[in-house]
Amino acid sequence: MRAVVQRVSGASVKVDGRTVGRIGKGLVVFGGIQKGDTPVDVEYVAKKVSSLRVFEDADGKMNLDCVKACGEVLVVSQFTLLGDARRGSRPSFSMAEEPERAEELFMLLVNEIRKRSLSVSTGIFRRHMEVELTNDGPVTILIDSRKTF
């Protein structure tokens, strides 16, 4: 499983012009499910997301996780994180998991993050979404359960 995590001062996601998820200060997590991913991969990413110390403490150091910073999380499915553009100009998405299994694991990710005392909003799986966010820092972290980067 791959995730791009961004620290934000605010974010929202719309489907068909209607806001379906919104957060204030917190983290936006774009998650992509790879073929062969299991609940172990989901657990790894959920643990990393919830424990990332990317919020500033009283001394201005990135030392607080999202819970301690009283932040929220917006999780958005994004199969294009599995895109492979090494050959040609059109990315291959053959590494992305089939939609039914991917949705199951994506919802598991959302629930695993919620279990860690975080308020979580989401987009809608397999729908065209418009995501607006204000990256704070900017701070962007890449997570891969298979540790390929």
Q: Which residue out of 19, 38, 80, 134 is catalytically annotated?
A: 80
Q: Which residue out of 30, 79, 106, 122 is catalytically annotated?
A: 79
Catalytic, 79? Answer yes
Give a three-class secondary structure readout of the chain.
CEEEEEEEEEEEEEECCEEEEEECCEEEEEEECECCCCHHHHHHHHHHHHHCCCEECCCCCEEECCCCCCCEEEEEECHHHHCECCCCCCCECCCECCHHHHHHHHHHHHHHHHCCCCEEEECCCCCCCEEEEEEEEEEEEEEECCCCC
Catalytic, 6? Answer no
Catalytic, 122? Answer no
Q: Which residue out of 6, 34, 78, 122 is catalytically annotated?
A: 78
Catalytic residue annotation: 78-80
